[in-house]
Amino acid sequence: MEQIPYPLRTERLVLRRFEPTDLDAYYAYQSLPETARYLLGDARSLAECMERVGKFSQQKFSQEGDWASFAVELAEQPGLLGEIALKWGTGGDAEHGYVGEIGWTLTPQAQGKGYATEAARAVLELAFGQLGFHRLHARLDAANDGSRKICERLGMRAEGLFQQNWFLKGEWTSEAVYAILRSEWRAQQ
């Protein structure tokens, strides 16, 4: 598989490798309960954020199970808006294509402006166009209307709804799975 060509650029955004200087901005939104609302874990501590930013800045994307985490910022105004991640899943091969997962988290101030959709389009193009992926899916809390709408704008199809399969933060929640194939992505372009 090819190396990820950091940074990726869109009309409004730069998707780059995380840097240690992102820690304060990362902690500012990762420590918020509203950010953690639809995530598997609770709001993150400063120590957890330090560990994650350190890991993100050194990530390698060279084998199944690896994650590529992109820091998202405006092209004209640097500053962390959030992150988008691509996971190299198990299954597939270089000849037939790989499978993976995509996900995103943005600061509350950056939500509702189309940034997550724009960033996800760039990562889908990278995955399907350069990295040899055959299929990508997104897993989300079924109550997360914002992420559901992003999946739909990307042309991802709803593949499943797992009723109350996660007991998180004191309640049962349901998981929605959306997916798209390389052929479906290409047909949209």
Per-residue pLDDT of 138-180, as tens digits, reads: 999 999 999 999 999 999 999 999 999 999 899 999 999 999 9
Please identify, in words, the CATH class of the domain defined by 8-136: alpha beta
Domain ranges of the chain: 8-136
What tens digit of pLDDT does each residue of 50-103 get?
A: 999 999 999 999 999 999 999 999 999 989 999 999 999 988 898 999 999 999
β-sheet with 133-141: strand ranges across: 8-9, 13-17, 67-74, 80-93, 97-106, 133-141, 171-181, 157-168
Which pLDDT score is estimated for 31?
98
Instruction: Return the ∠ at Cα 81 (arms to 80 and 84), rounded to 5°.
Output: 100
Which pLDDT score is estimated for 1?
66
The better pLDDT of the pair 162, 189 is held by 162
Here the tokens at position 4 are 């990820």
- Reference 120, options 3, 8, 5, 2; nearest CA is 8
